[in-house]
Amino acid sequence: MSIIQMKGVKKRYGALEVLRGVDLEVPAGQTLCIIGSSGSGKSTLLRLLMTLERPDAGEIHIAGEPLWTMQRNGRTVAAGARHLRHMRAKVGMVFQHFNLFPHMSVLRNMTEAPTHVLGIDAADAEARAIELLRKVGLQDKARVYPAQLSGGQRQRVAIARALAMRPEIMLFDEITSALDPELIGEVLHLLQDLSREGSITMLIVTHHMRFAQRSADRVLFLDGGVILEDGPPDQVFGAPREERTRHFLAAVLEE
């Protein structure tokens, strides 16, 4: 069964229609790369799944449960705070600008939510945080504050922090766009390792076409708020169906 189902999802900001009817099914464990020019609605798609934005129309199901509605006394009503928190437990997100908590040490960044949201006791949360830091190659940075890390290190901490909540789905929103070129590699490598493990469903919004080609199980090309291309990387990059996709790929691959 699909872990994510979107049907006719629309979102507008004022006069600007960012998503104009998106239908999408993502099977569990898939690594999905979303490409497209800026303003095509890629980030908005992720933000809807993280409940940072509310869709104007359409339905989103996560693990079979509706994200934005719930049942009360046999009727469908808008999701309340409790339902949203129940649904958010399945999803984690990593942001372009890391969004670490600057006043907390790396360790506290990673244990704050597990202890207070999942109710894991402090010692277990710390042990798990250290284990995750080892996984992202930063085991010696537990006591350090975010400002003392490089951009690449901060983003790896942000990934580890999201993983500490044991999400089934991870959303990556242009997570290398704010990094210096020489720091991008370390973050992409980590993503690739995670993708190979295959235990988490990953939605990756990215501008790195070669990364998408190498690591994705499936590539979406979003344009003007609709999905124009959807298929395995070889097909989307090698034999795109739409003229528009060919133009986009020609433009970005020229860089």
Shortest reach from residue 168's CB to another protein, in Å? 13
Rounded Cα gap, residues 238 and 229, in angstroms: 12
Nearer to another protein, 158 or 249 (CB): 158
Nearer to another protein, 92 or 240 (CB): 92
- Considering just the CA atoms, what is the radius of gyration of the chain in Å? 19
Q: Which stretch binds another protein (CB under 8 A): 13-21, 61-69, 158-166, 237-245?
A: 158-166
**HEC readout, 106-151:** HHHHHHHHHHHCCCCCHHHHHHHHHHHHHHCCCHHHCCCCHHHCCH
Query: Closest Cα partner for 207 from 42, 48, 49?
Result: 42
Shortest reach from residue 248's CB to another protein, in Å? 28
Per CB under 8 A, the list member of 20, 25, 50, 151 interacting with another protein is 50
Q: Which stretch binds another protein (CB under 8 A): 5-13, 67-75, 97-105, 195-203?
A: 97-105
Nearer to another protein, 139 or 148 (CB): 148
Query: Closest Cα partner for 208 from 226, 186, 224, 184?
Result: 184
Shortest reach from residue 171's CB to another protein, in Å? 8
Helix axes 106-116, 122-135, angle to 10 degrees: 130
Q: Which stretch binds another protein (CB under 8 A): 14-22, 56-64, 126-134, 161-169?
A: 161-169
Q: Do 188 and 125 form a contact (C-beta atoms < 8 A)?
A: no
* Site track for another protein across 66-95, x = CB under 8 A: ---------------x---x--xx-xxx-x
165 binds another protein per the rule CB under 8 A:
yes
Rounded Cα gap, residues 146 and 130, in angstroms: 16
100 binds another protein per the rule CB under 8 A:
yes
51 binds another protein per the rule CB under 8 A:
yes
Per the listing, tokens 């999408």 go with 24
Check residue 241 and report its DSSP letter.
S
Three-state SS at 192: helix
Per CB under 8 A, the list member of 1, 15, 16, 147 interacting with another protein is 147
Shortest reach from residue 12's CB to another protein, in Å? 19
Q: Do 7 and 19 form a contact (C-beta atoms < 8 A)?
A: no
Shortest reach from residue 235's CB to another protein, in Å? 32
103 binds another protein per the rule CB under 8 A:
yes
63 binds another protein per the rule CB under 8 A:
no
Per the listing, tokens 């766009």 go with 177
Rounded Cα gap, residues 244 and 242, in angstroms: 5
Which residues contact another protein (rule: CB under 8 A)? 50-52, 81, 85, 88-89, 91-93, 95, 97, 99-103, 112-113, 116-117, 144-148, 161-162, 165
